[in-house]
Structure 1
């Protein structure tokens, strides 16, 4: 029989070898695009916890989170889909499911992961637990034998995925509510070259920007029988067809105080729409071509970053007055911004400065900088509880 003192010592030594218990609600993931790596960060102490390598081509990467906020699913440009365990800080599994991918989504119930592909054109769907493929949705075939590239993939209520077909000008809805064989609803002739899309926070409206013409395509998911409508006829490159240095990301739209704030394509403007009628109501002049227009969670501020050559700047806009209230210069190559869940911190990536910055968005002061290798996207696990993220 083991003596009590020896047993206590063994238990103590065993406890020392166990990692400290922690939750996942304040964790996040930072894409390090140049090296195929990600950093796991935590917002409570504003620290980096780990770097994980071997995720492939992260030049246009994004991530979604499991409903328990433990796992991140990273979508790489080379077709890689990687499941990362935020708590054990390791890759759970990685597969290469396509040749050229452009993002993905997790289903409403957290059971399915969908990936949108340029090559081969279409959407592939996987079991979130095992990453085993459960469905393949080929996109419309083109005259040259290839298939349309798929963009703007989002999750929607009712266990659906909605996405756009760039080359064929379509929007599709894939309903997985009855199992792993989806019911596909196709909307054709929605506009020329839908290039990106978003879904409103309540999951009602799917909005696709059109690269080939001015305006946006809107699908009301409460009333799909009405078909796709055209809204914001002035949204686009304009009659002069101004040079576009970087396409804005529509997921960076902000909705606050019943207003939608939209980054104008190729213009030094943020467009304002009434979020009920979807009619344009105002234009806000800004310092450059906006990429992300990100709302503070309380809706009072917008933080805006820009394409080259103004990508060292961030402007802060008051949503009530539409006035620019701060002009910041965080550093060269500001690529992405992310608020913590309650909005007390704003994290931004400064790619060419090789750093992450944490700001107090109320005092407009820099709280901390962290080293990072060519950082781009910042994703906090709170996204797991949001539609379309």
Structure 2
């Protein structure tokens, strides 16, 4: 009888460990900027599950997720690439792959992680499982000259697309054969592309230009047509204003046939007709917009702002193309993230050391969670979206 006790104890332990299994579809990360840490959170309850330390410089952190939603890949400003296990609450692996990186993307099949680098300028591609280097693509646009790389996104066909800030170019990187990467270059797209977005279906790559007016658009279904300039005269003759925080174009909102984009240095959100790529309206807003993000059903667009107006959020009604509501959630609103079907939005309040959760239908607060200087919120549902 006593011989059975160890076996019985092990069985009971295994059953207890599995009594509350964790699913991955409602998980996410909140980046704690000053602590070099990330909080693993549950979006359905909502609550914090764990804290992962030792992630380096997270002053401009971004995150992508494995297709099974188990792993999160964190891109740090110090060139760090960190792989976090969301089920075991641990840092699975971390490497320093460059001197200064600005973001990254995961390939269509989930097997490759690409990182865009300022220093040295270029893109490095790693195996998602081991973080072993697969390809190194220097952003050399002239003999001995490398450009900072920005606006890196994934695209269909096992491709990545990115922009060269210093060169005024857009490159596509085909990784169908990892041993023989294929680069296609589009030159003279405009001065100083500073960020970009991919349309939800993966067809249009649009880079914002800091050095001149307008946007640069590449149709991936027809790359032979080259890069098209859109809104080339918007604000062209207006006086240049100081820009307190660069807009983050990956958060641009696509709502049906409309594109909602932040105007650089102005207190406006631009509404562009996707069918003609012409400006329909410039919506006045409270400050210089940073993130312009659509609720998943596209009924609302939420906007946050650069200082000194970064204590506010404004909500645009996409039917009327007007600001319907202004909220004052707290100090230094840095980032927003919608739950997968949009019933809630999570908002990072860096200087209040909080994340506030709103019900997007009633605009009432659901809860507030503590977080030390949060500056980024990323949910695992991004694993199944192109360009995120």
Are the structure 2 counterparts of residues 328 and 178 from structure 1 closer, same or farther at C-alpha, using a change threshold of 3 Å? same
Are the equivalent residues in 1 in contact too, given 2:355–2:370 (CA < 8 A)? yes
Are the equivalent residues in 2 in contact too, given 1:237–1:266 (CA < 8 A)? no
2:142 and 2:375 map into 1 onto residues whose CA distance is 33
1:178: how far off? 2.7
Deviations 1:227-263 (A, max 9, x none): 0110022456862011111111111111113111111
Pair 1:217 & 2:216 matched: yes
SS of equivalent residue, structure 1 residue 178? coil
SS of equivalent residue, structure 2 residue 29? strand
Pair 1:300 & 2:281 matched: no
SS of equivalent residue, structure 1 residue 11? helix
Aligned position for 1:255: 254
Deviations 1:20-49 (A, max 9, x none): 311100000111111110001111111011
Aligned position for 1:110: 110
Aligned position for 1:343: 342
TM (norm. structure 1) is 0.97
Are the equivalent residues in 1 in contact too, given 2:257–2:275 (CA < 8 A)? yes
1:8: how far off? 3.4
Deviations 1:164-192 (A, max 9, x none): 00101111001111333211101111111
2:18 and 2:55 map into 1 onto residues whose CA distance is 27
SS of equivalent residue, structure 2 residue 352? coil
1:5 and 1:125 map into 2 onto residues whose CA distance is 51
Aligned position for 2:101: 101
Q: Higher mean Cα deviation, 226-235 or 16-25?
A: 16-25
Aligned position for 1:72: 72
2:141 and 2:271 map into 1 onto residues whose CA distance is 37
1:219 and 1:287 map into 2 onto residues whose CA distance is 31
Are the structure 2 counterparts of residues 160 and 235 from structure 1 closer, same or farther at C-alpha, using a change threshold of 3 Å? farther
Matches within 5 A, 1:324-339: 324-339=323-338
Matches within 5 A, 1:8-157: 8-16=8-16, 20-142=20-142, 145-157=144-156
Are the equivalent residues in 1 in contact too, given 2:134–2:178 (CA < 8 A)? no
1:45 and 1:286 map into 2 onto residues whose CA distance is 33
2:301 and 2:42 map into 1 onto residues whose CA distance is 23
Deviations 1:132-174 (A, max 9, x none): 000000012557x441111010000100000000101111001
1:130: how far off? 0.2
When the two structures are aligned, how many residues end up with a matched partner? 388
Q: Which runs of 5+ in 2 are unaligned?
A: none
SS of equivalent residue, structure 2 residue 147? coil
Deviations 1:285-330 (A, max 9, x none): 1111111111111111111100000000001110010121111000
Are the equivalent residues in 1 in contact too, given 2:197–2:387 (CA < 8 A)? yes
Are the equivalent residues in 2 in contact too, given 1:210–1:217 (CA < 8 A)? yes
TM (norm. structure 2) is 0.97
Are the equivalent residues in 2 in contact too, given 1:62–1:75 (CA < 8 A)? yes
Matches within 5 A, 1:185-334: 185-235=184-234, 239-334=238-333
SS of equivalent residue, structure 1 residue 346? strand
Deviations 1:248-289 (A, max 9, x none): 111111111311111111111000010121111111111111
Q: Which runs of 5+ in 1 are unaligned?
A: none
SS of equivalent residue, structure 1 residue 382? helix
1:3: how far off? 5.4
Q: What is the aligned-residue RMSD (CA, Å)?
A: 1.5
Are the equivalent residues in 2 in contact too, given 1:236–1:265 (CA < 8 A)? no
Pair 1:366 & 2:368 matched: no
SS of equivalent residue, structure 1 residue 352? helix
Show structure 1 runs of 4+ deviating over 6 A: none
Are the equivalent residues in 2 in contact too, given 1:236–1:266 (CA < 8 A)? no
Aligned position for 2:182: 183
